[in-house]
Structure formats: C-alpha cells, structure tokens
Structure 1
Amino acid sequence: MININDFIDEFFDFTANNQLFPWEVINHLDDLLAEKFNQLTDEYEISGNIAIHKTATIEQNVIFKDRIIIGENSFVGANAYLRGPVFVGKNSKIGPGCEIKQSIIYNDTAIAHFNYIGNSIIGNRINFEAGSICANHYNERKDKEISVLFNNEIIRTQTYKLGSLVGDDSRIGANAVLSPGTILPKESIVRRLELIEQVKADQ
C-alpha cells in the first residue's frame, strides 16, 4: 500500500480517505475538489468553478480552465495555464509560463517558470527549477498503461495519464524530466537535466 501521508505531511487533511492510491486521487480529483468547494469560507472569491483566496496574487494573462482552487498567499505568474482540476495550497508559487494539469501542488512549494506538471501530486516545500517536467503519458510506447515502482514491486495502475508523486522537501533541477509514474520519497534530489525513469518499457 502506498500511503501518501508517508510522502506528504498531513496529506489526508486534503482527503480523509487514506486508502486511495496516488492515481486514484488524481483520477477522482474533480470530485475531491467539488467537496472542498463546499467547505470554502468567504476568504475566497468564487466565480463558477474557480476559487481564489483573497490574499493570492494572480498576474496578467493567466488561463484557468475547469475546477481550480488557489490557496492563501499563493502566486500564479503571468501567462500560466492551469487546466483543472487543480489545487494549489498555501504560500506556493506557480511561475510565469507554467502549465499545470489535473494536479495537487501542496504548501510552500515553488514551480519556477516554463514548467509542466501533469496529473501529479506535489508535496510541501518543494522547488522545481526552470523547465523541469512531470510527464504524464508514454507517447513512445505501444502499451501506454503506466506502472509504478514501489518497495521493489511494480504496480500496474490501469491508467494512461499519471505524472509523479513527489515527497516533501525535494529539489528538482532545471530541465529534469520525471517520467510517468515516478515516485520520489521525501528530500529527493534530482539533478539538472536528469531523467528519472523508474520502470522500463520491458518490465
């Protein structure tokens, strides 16, 4: 069992169901955010499916699509594109030109600029340097189902869109690529230009 709380402190404040695998959280993220919408206070400005905390900063030309929650004191830079469902926690920064798709960005995390985060769960106090990517799809494979490697066991997810689970206090270097299904424990370091590919095509 992959317990997300082992990777991200107090993650199950986000959802009380601690039996969900990371890909199940991502696949049901819109429903989970719909529940959170019902719990939001008047500290949020809500327009349709978009909820932005009144202390958050949203720069020019940001595009929000589908259900989005932006938390307290967070920042979204110019020309970013958030394709919901997306949750951004407290004190986090989404830099200019970033694209975030169907993901959770937890607290005090910085996504620099020109990054792509797809179908991922990103923990607390993480830094993504410029141009780093959480890829979510195996374009190059005939069998596109994504598997994850956990405790030396390969687990089939029965899904075709899945990015990464990145544990608290990790550092991802510029132009690094996390392949679909990557799981990084707390305090991981990914070097600049490094490719993380935990499960090979022939496994």
Structure 2
Amino acid sequence: MLRPEDFFDLHDFSHREIFEDLEYVWDALKRLADYIQDVMTPDIEGSVMDGAYLIGDQIQIGEGSIVEPGAYITGPTIIGKNTVVRHGAYIRGNVLIGDECVVGHTSELKGAILLNQSGAPHFNYVGDSILGNHVNLGAGTKLSNLKILKGSVKVKIGDTVYDSKLRKFGAILGDRAETGCNSVLNPGTLIGPDSLVYPNATVSGYVPPNSIVKLRQTLEIVTRESRA
C-alpha cells in the first residue's frame, strides 16, 4: 500500500531507479540529493530564453524543454524533455523533473520529484514532495513540508502511525491525482492515484485511490444595512 508501485507507473520514467527496492514511497526523498549528483550530466539541450536565470553549473535541461524569461533555477536540478518552466517560476535545487511537465508562474519547487506530464502551473508550492504521472495542482495549491511543532513528519493511516524520519516532507500524489484551487496538503499527506481534492480543502493523512475529498461549507447571504 505504501510502496512506489502503489502510487506510480514507473515504466516510462527515466529515473525510476530512485524508487527501486523501497518499502515506503517517501524514502525516495532521502535518496534524491545523492541520486541527482550520481546521474547528473550538466548540459543545456533545451532553450533558455534571455532573462532566465540559471545559477551554478549543476543544471541539466533536456531536449525540447523551454525556460522562459524571469524563471530562476538553482542546481542541482535535472529537467527532462519537452518541459516548460514558465516566467516567474523558482526551482531551488535538488529537483528532478520528468518529461512534458509544467512549472508555472510563481510556482516554487524544492527537493521535489515530478514524474512525466505532471504540472505545478499556477502559484504552487511543492516542497519535499513527489508528483506522479499526469498530476495537476490547481492554482494556489500548497504542499506544506514542515510541521509547526517541528520534529519528524509522521504519516497516519487509520490507527497506524509511520515515522518518515524526515524533518521536511510534504506530500505524495499518485498518478492522475488532482487538487482544486487553493487546497493545502499538510506534511506527510498521501493522495492515491486517480483521486481528487476539492478547492480550498485542507488535507492530512492518507487518501485511498479513486477517492474524492469533498469540502462542504455553508454560506449565508444577508441584507446589507443602510449606510446612509
């Protein structure tokens, strides 16, 4: 239930080795920095437009990818093929991005893995998190990665609590999961494949595959008093 293959189809992911022989899917985050250093081949095969900022020499950008003006990328970072990093995006390092992804305006990535065709397209924060294939984050979605009370992030599933042994750990979203606008995933949240999160929802713990996290709110419209 908590292995990488329970969340992702890894057959077409060029960096599937990072998930090999893991009991818990979040353990890939512990490997991330070393893995990037091991496989990094600093090279810019894509198009970096004037006005984009690439900081350091530990950056790899695949064929067909585009980095728009105003984007800011620090290494070590690997970006696959045909991915778009839009104006105002901020990639802070130790980031592994697959093919045909989108990192959009004012979206920030740090210590993250994005599988193929996933997107953080508008005003997203993706910290110490993993997005599966075809995942889409609604505008303003935040994957919170640090507990207010500090300590390692724990994952609760029913009555069982798993200690990730990670001080910073955001969320795992399985293949084709989606979030609505302005949703927040608390540290250690796991969203199963093909699941949806309603806009403005705040989610913790484990959401099984093929589920919908619904948010119900009550609105009241009253007559405005005269200001005369």
Question: Does TM-score exceed 0.5, indicating one fold?
Answer: yes
Which of the residues 100, 112, 123 maps onto 2:121?
Answer: 112
Question: Which aligned pairs between 1:82-93 and structure 2 lie closer than 5 A?
Answer: 82-93=91-102
Which of the residues 81, 94, 97 maps onto 2:90?
Answer: 81
Counterpart position of 2:106: 97
Question: Which aligned pairs between 1:1-203 and structure 2 lie closer than 5 A?
Answer: 2-10=2-10, 13-15=16-18, 17-19=20-22, 21-37=24-40, 48-139=57-148, 141=149, 143-150=150-157, 152-198=159-205
Corresponding pairs, count: 196
CA distance in 2, matches of 1:16, 1:115: 24
Overall identity of the aligned pairs, in %: 28
Contact 1:178 1:197 in 2 (8 A): yes
CA distance in 2, matches of 1:150, 1:195: 17
CA distance in 2, matches of 1:44, 1:152: 48
Contact 1:52 1:71 in 2 (8 A): yes
Structure 1: gaps spanning 5 or more residues:
none
CA distance in 1, matches of 2:104, 2:196: 20
CA distance in 1, matches of 2:106, 2:153: 27
Report the Cα offset of residue 43 of structure 1: 5.1
Q: Superposition RMSD on alpha carbons, in Å?
A: 2.4
CA distance in 1, matches of 2:186, 2:76: 25
Contact 2:92 2:109 in 1 (8 A): yes
Report the Cα offset of residue 54 of structure 1: 2.7
Structure 2: gaps spanning 5 or more residues:
48-53, 207-228
**Which has the bigger relative contact order, CA under 8 A and spacing at least 6?**
1
Deviations 1:31-55 (A, max 9, x none): 11122225x8995799721001131
Report the Cα offset of residue 27 of structure 1: 2.3
CA distance in 2, matches of 1:14, 1:130: 31
Counterpart position of 2:50: none
Report the Cα offset of residue 15 of structure 1: 2.2
Structure 1 moving runs of 4+ over 3 Å: 40-47
Matched to 1:115, the amino acid is N
CA distance in 2, matches of 1:42, 1:106: 20
Report the Cα offset of residue 110 of structure 1: 1.7
Quick check: which has more Rg, 1 or 2?
2
